[in-house]
Amino acid sequence: MASSGLVLIDKPQGFTSHDVVAKVRKAVGTKKVGHAGTLDPLATGLLVLGIESGTKLLTFLVGADKTYLATIRLGVSTVSDDSESEVVETAAADSLALITPDRIIREISKLTGVILQRPSSVSAIKVDGKRAYDLVREGVEVELKSREVSVHAFELLSSSKSPEGFIDLEVRVDCSSGTYIRALARDLGQGLGVGGHITSLRRTKVGSFEVESANQISELEDLRLTSLAEAASDLFETITLDDQQVTDLVHGKRISPKVSVSSTVAGISEAGKLIAVLEPVDSDLKSVVVFQGELND
């Protein structure tokens, strides 16, 4: 049986998240593999996968903040707000000539902080039980509702002219889960009156996990696995459990912590194994999820 834990993958362009999951399943010899947060085929970068009991930790990663590097092309609008669909509108050269660095910075500032964002119509959001991007492919016009997201940082790294005369911006975005970088590109372009879309997108961070620590897709025969205890320690504060507390948790009982606990914690056995994710209830701790498989390793 495959070991339990998390696997960090640096997803190449052209692969779907499902493609990566399928390859990892084959490499580790188990079907119990899942991921925390889809990346489009256009996007590259960090994909966090759970193996065996590690899939139980993915729930706590889905809502984690994320960091992206992206190239935004100003002057062209597309159906999907990225470079993988047909062009809707192209800005005139005289309109692009009016775009200054100061104007770009001002519009970026309007898209920073807590904002209302309308997701791209080709997102994976479900509408009446079907994915929005499937409806668009069927010719259905989709207008998704705006939702509140947090853009913690939207930083302009550089600006250049493309060979066609458009403006290419290299940006870094720190944001809450559920933020669409393609929609930021679209809205920035609209704010500047010239349209915009993503030509490249790379996710560099999910929660505390960084792409620099990720496996390459060519390294699947020798995957570096992040243990459950190590992964949980990155996600939560930890407490050490004695043998009796471990037994009680496995049998569904609450335990009394030996230290003050005010938020969700990871309970680690004296042998260094992740036993449970715990939350405080009055003066006790109850399990959110128990990792009984760790007791048998």
Q: Is 40 a catalytic residue?
A: yes
Contacts of 118 (CB under 8 A, 6+ apart): 143, 144, 145, 146, 147, 183
51 token code pair? 């193996």
Pick the CATH number of 5-64+207-227 from 3.40.50.360, 3.30.428.10, 3.30.2350.10, 3.40.50.20: 3.30.2350.10
> Are the C-beta atoms of residues 218 and 23 closer than 8 Å to each other?
no
Give me the residue label for tokens 């005369």: 165
240 token code pair? 């050490």
The rounded percent of the chain whose pLDDT value lies above 70 is: 90
pLDDT > 50? residue 118: yes
> Are the C-beta atoms of residues 88 and 130 closer than 8 Å to each other?
no
CA 50/CA 209 separation, integer angstroms: 13
> Are the C-beta atoms of residues 8 and 213 closer than 8 Å to each other?
yes
Pick the CATH number of 236-296 from 2.40.50.100, 2.40.50.140, 2.30.130.10, 3.40.47.10: 2.30.130.10
CA 260/CA 239 separation, integer angstroms: 10
pLDDT > 90? residue 247: yes
> Are the C-beta atoms of residues 64 and 236 closer than 8 Å to each other?
no
For the domain made up of 66-206, give the CATH fold.
Pseudouridine synthase (3.30.2350)
Give me the residue label for tokens 């992040």: 226
pLDDT > 90? residue 269: yes
pLDDT > 80? residue 219: yes
Q: What digits encode the pLDDT tens for the residues 152-196?
A: 999 999 999 999 999 999 999 999 999 999 999 999 999 999 999
194 closest CA partner among 295, 297, 100: 100
CA 93/CA 187 separation, integer angstroms: 20
Q: What digits encode the pLDDT tens for the residues 135-153?
A: 666 666 666 788 999 999 9
Residue tagged active-site, from 10, 19, 40, 222: 40
Q: What digits encode the pLDDT tens for the residues 45-98?
A: 999 999 999 999 999 998 899 999 999 999 999 988 999 888 999 999 999 999
What is the structure's pLDDT at 1?
Answer: 44
Does pTM top 0.75 for this prediction? Answer: yes
Q: What digits encode the pLDDT tens for the residues 248-266?
A: 999 999 999 888 888 999 9
pLDDT > 80? residue 224: yes
Better-predicted residue by pLDDT, 79 or 110: 110
Question: 3-state DSSP call for residue 90?
Answer: strand
Query: What's the number of CA atoms in the CB half-sphere (13 Å) around residue 149?
Result: 27
Same fold for the pair 5-64+207-227 and 66-206: yes
Categorize the per-residue pLDDT at 117 as very low, low, confident or very high, splitting at 50, 70 and 90.
very high
pLDDT > 60? residue 3: yes
What is the structure's pLDDT at 177?
Answer: 92
Where exactly are the structural domains of the chain?
5-64+207-227, 66-206, 236-296
